[in-house]
A and B are shown apart, each in its own frame.
Chain A
Amino acid sequence: MSIVGTRVVRQEDQNLITAGGTYVDDLRAEALSGAAHAVFVRSPIAHARIGGIDVSEAKAAPGVLGVFTAADLGLGPHAAGPVEEPWLAGEVVRYVGEPVALVLTEERYQLADAAELVDVDYEPLDAVASIDAALDGETLLYPETGSNIVQVNGMAEFDDAIFEGCDVVVTQTIANQRVAPAPLEVRGASLAWGEDGRLTAWLSTQNAQIARSQLAGSLGVGEESVRVIAPDVGGGFGAKIGADPEATVLGWAAKRLGRPVRWVESRSENLTSMTHGRAQLNTVTIGGKRDGTVLAYRLDVVQDAGAYPRTLFLPTLTELMAVGVYRFPKVQTRSRAVVTNTTPIAAYRGAGRPEATAAVERAMDLFAAELGLDPADVRRANFIRPEEFPYRTPTGAFYDTGEYAAALDKVLDTAGYAELRAEQRRRREAGDPVELGLGIAAYVEITGGDGGGESGRVDIHPDGSVVAWTGSSPHGQGLGTSLAMLLADRLGVPLEKITVRHGDTDEVPKAIGTFGSRSLQLGGSAIRQAADEVIAQARELAANLLEAAPDDLELDVERGVWQVRGAPSSTVLSWAQVAETATGGKLTADVWFGDGQPTFPFGAHLAVVEVDTETGKVELRRIIAVDDAGPIVNPLTFRGQRHGGLGQGAAQALLEVVTYDEDGNPTTATLADYSFITAVELPDFELVDMATPTDRNLLGVKGIGEAATIGSTPAVHNAVVDALSARGVKHLDMPTTPIRVWAALEETAKGNAQ
Chain B
Amino acid sequence: MKVSIEVNGRPVTEEVPDRTLLVHFLRDTAGLTGTNIGCDTTSCGACTVLLDGESVKSCTVLAAQADGHAVTTVEGLAGADGSLHPVQRAFREQHGLQCGFCTPGMIMASVSLLADNPKPTRDEVRAGLEGNLCRCTGYHNIVSAVIDASGQEVDR
Interface residues of A (CB under 8 A from B): 9-10, 12-14, 16-23, 25-26, 28, 108-109, 182-186, 232-235, 237, 264, 266-268, 475-478, 636-637, 639-640, 643-648, 670-672, 676, 678-680, 682, 684-686
Q: Does B95 reach chain A (CB closer than 8 Å)?
A: yes
Once the chains bind, are B92 and A184 in contact (CB under 8 Å)? Answer: no
Q: List 20 A-B contacts (CB under 8 A).
A: A9-B92, A17-B103, A20-B73, A22-B33, A183-B101, A183-B135, A184-B46, A184-B99, A185-B99, A186-B38, A235-B101, A235-B136, A476-B98, A643-B140, A644-B136, A671-B43, A676-B133, A679-B129, A682-B139, A684-B143
Once the chains bind, are A109 and B17 in contact (CB under 8 Å)? Answer: yes
- Contacts A640-B98, A670-B43 hold; do A680 and B138 have CB atoms under 8 A apart? no
Which residues of chain B are within 8 angstroms of A109 by Cβ–Cβ distance? 17, 19-20, 24
- Contacts A184-B134, A235-B136, A643-B140 hold; do A679 and B98 have CB atoms under 8 A apart? no
Most chain B CB atoms below 10 A, which of A266, A478, A671, A672: A671
The one of A28, A476, A685 that contacts B100, using a Cβ cutoff of 8 Å: A476
Question: Which residues of B, 80-110, contact A by the 8 Å Cβ criterion?
Answer: 82, 84, 88, 91-93, 95, 97-104, 107
Listed from nearest, the 4 A-B pairs whose CB atoms lie closest are A20-B34, A647-B138, A234-B101, A476-B99
Q: Does B55 reach chain A (CB closer than 8 Å)?
A: no
Annotate B12-46 by CB proximity to A: 1 below 8 A, 0 otherwise: 00000101100010011001011111111111101
Question: How many A-B pairs with Cβ below 8 Å?
Answer: 188
The one of A268, A644, A672, A682 that contacts B98, using a Cβ cutoff of 8 Å: A644
Q: Does B52 reach chain A (CB closer than 8 Å)?
A: no
Nearest-neighbor residue (CB-CB) of A673 within chain B: B41
CA distance A637 to B141 in the complex (A): 11
Once the chains bind, are B101 and A184 in contact (CB under 8 Å)? Answer: yes
Annotate B56-81 by CB proximity to A: 1 below 8 A, 0 otherwise: 00000000000000000111011000
Once the chains bind, are B141 and A267 in contact (CB under 8 Å)? Answer: no
Once the chains bind, are A18 and B75 in contact (CB under 8 Å)? Answer: yes
CA distance A672 to B131 in the complex (A): 11
Nearest-neighbor residue (CB-CB) of B46 within chain A: A184
Q: Does B5 reach chain A (CB closer than 8 Å)?
A: no
Once the chains bind, are A17 and B74 in contact (CB under 8 Å)? Answer: yes
Once the chains bind, are B130 and A21 in contact (CB under 8 Å)? Answer: no
Q: Does B126 reach chain A (CB closer than 8 Å)?
A: yes
CA distance A18 to B134 in the complex (A): 18
Which residues of chain B are within 8 angstroms of A676 by Cβ–Cβ distance? 43-44, 133, 135
* A635 → B minimal CB distance (Å): 10
The one of A19, A183, A268, A643 that contacts B99, using a Cβ cutoff of 8 Å: A183
Nearest-neighbor residue (CB-CB) of A185 within chain B: B101
Q: Does B122 reach chain A (CB closer than 8 Å)?
A: yes
Most chain B CB atoms below 10 A, which of A108, A233, A476: A476
CA distance A184 to B98 in the complex (A): 11
CA distance A678 to B143 in the complex (A): 12
Most chain B CB atoms below 10 A, which of A237, A640, A648, A686: A640
Which residues of chain A are within 8 angstroms of B7 by Cβ–Cβ distance? none
Which residues of chain A are within 8 angstroms of B129 by Cβ–Cβ distance? 678-679
Which residues of chain A are within 8 angstroms of B125 by Cβ–Cβ distance? 679
Once the chains bind, are A18 and B126 in contact (CB under 8 Å)? Answer: no
Most chain B CB atoms below 10 A, which of A25, A184, A476, A647: A184
Once the chains bind, are B33 and A17 in contact (CB under 8 Å)? Answer: no
Which residues of chain A are within 8 angstroms of B152 by Cβ–Cβ distance? none
Once the chains bind, are A268 and B40 in contact (CB under 8 Å)? Answer: yes
* B107 → A minimal CB distance (Å): 7
Once the chains bind, are B135 and A20 in contact (CB under 8 Å)? Answer: no
Once the chains bind, are A16 and B103 in contact (CB under 8 Å)? Answer: yes
Nearest-neighbor residue (CB-CB) of A672 within chain B: B41
The one of B95, B140, B142 that contacts A685, using a Cβ cutoff of 8 Å: B140
- Contacts A28-B33, A185-B36, A680-B130 hold; do A17 and B91 have CB atoms under 8 A apart? yes
Which residues of chain A are within 8 angstroms of B132 by Cβ–Cβ distance? 679
* B153 → A minimal CB distance (Å): 14
The one of B20, B42, B137 that contacts A647, using a Cβ cutoff of 8 Å: B137
Which residues of chain B are within 8 angstroms of A264 by Cβ–Cβ distance? 37
The one of B24, B75, B92, B134 that contacts A10, using a Cβ cutoff of 8 Å: B92
Which residues of chain A are within 8 angstroms of B127 by Cβ–Cβ distance? 679-680
- Contacts A21-B101, A184-B133 hold; do A266 and B40 have CB atoms under 8 A apart? yes
Nearest-neighbor residue (CB-CB) of A636 within chain B: B95
Once the chains bind, are B88 and A644 in contact (CB under 8 Å)? Answer: no
Which residues of chain B are within 8 angstroms of A182 by Cβ–Cβ distance? 135
* A652 → B minimal CB distance (Å): 13
Which residues of chain B are within 8 angstroms of A183 by Cβ–Cβ distance? 99, 101, 135
* B143 → A minimal CB distance (Å): 7
Once the chains bind, are B46 and A640 in contact (CB under 8 Å)? Answer: no
Which residues of chain A are within 8 angstroms of B135 by Cβ–Cβ distance? 182-184, 235, 237, 644, 648, 676
Once the chains bind, are A645 and B97 in contact (CB under 8 Å)? Answer: no
Most chain B CB atoms below 10 A, which of A19, A20, A183, A644: A20
Once the chains bind, are B36 and A234 in contact (CB under 8 Å)? Answer: yes
- Contacts A671-B41, A679-B143 hold; do A20 and B98 have CB atoms under 8 A apart? no
* B10 → A minimal CB distance (Å): 15
Which residues of chain A are within 8 angstroms of B77 by Cβ–Cβ distance? 18
The one of A17, A232, A266, A644 that contacts B137, using a Cβ cutoff of 8 Å: A644
* A658 → B minimal CB distance (Å): 15
Once the chains bind, are B97 and A685 in contact (CB under 8 Å)? Answer: no
Q: With A17-B103, A232-B100, A671-B44 given, name 17 new contacts (CB 8 A).
A: A9-B93, A9-B95, A13-B91, A13-B97, A16-B100, A17-B91, A18-B34, A20-B36, A108-B24, A109-B24, A182-B135, A184-B102, A184-B136, A640-B95, A640-B137, A684-B140, A685-B138
- Contacts A9-B93, A232-B100 hold; do A23 and B43 have CB atoms under 8 A apart? no
CA distance A267 to B39 in the complex (A): 5
Which residues of chain B are within 8 angstroms of A637 by Cβ–Cβ distance? 95
* B90 → A minimal CB distance (Å): 10
CA distance A683 to B35 in the complex (A): 28
Which residues of chain A are within 8 angstroms of B37 by Cβ–Cβ distance? 25, 264
CA distance A233 to B36 in the complex (A): 12
The one of B43, B100, B107 that contacts A672, using a Cβ cutoff of 8 Å: B43
Which residues of chain A are within 8 angstroms of B131 by Cβ–Cβ distance? 678
- Contacts A477-B98, A670-B43, A671-B43 hold; do A20 and B33 have CB atoms under 8 A apart? yes
The one of B39, B44, B92, B138 that contacts A17, using a Cβ cutoff of 8 Å: B92
CA distance A185 to B36 in the complex (A): 8
Once the chains bind, are B98 and A646 in contact (CB under 8 Å)? Answer: no
Once the chains bind, are B141 and A233 in contact (CB under 8 Å)? Answer: no
Most chain A CB atoms below 10 A, which of B33, B78, B104: B33
* B141 → A minimal CB distance (Å): 6
Question: Which residues of B, 107-127, contact A by the 8 Å Cβ criterion?
Answer: 107, 122, 125-127
CA distance A637 to B100 in the complex (A): 14
Once the chains bind, are A185 and B136 in contact (CB under 8 Å)? Answer: no
Once the chains bind, are A235 and B99 in contact (CB under 8 Å)? Answer: yes
Once the chains bind, are A267 and B44 in contact (CB under 8 Å)? Answer: yes
CA distance A20 to B142 in the complex (A): 16
Once the chains bind, are B130 and A20 in contact (CB under 8 Å)? Answer: no
Once the chains bind, are A21 and B137 in contact (CB under 8 Å)? Answer: no
Which residues of chain B are within 8 angstroms of A233 by Cβ–Cβ distance? 99
* A229 → B minimal CB distance (Å): 17
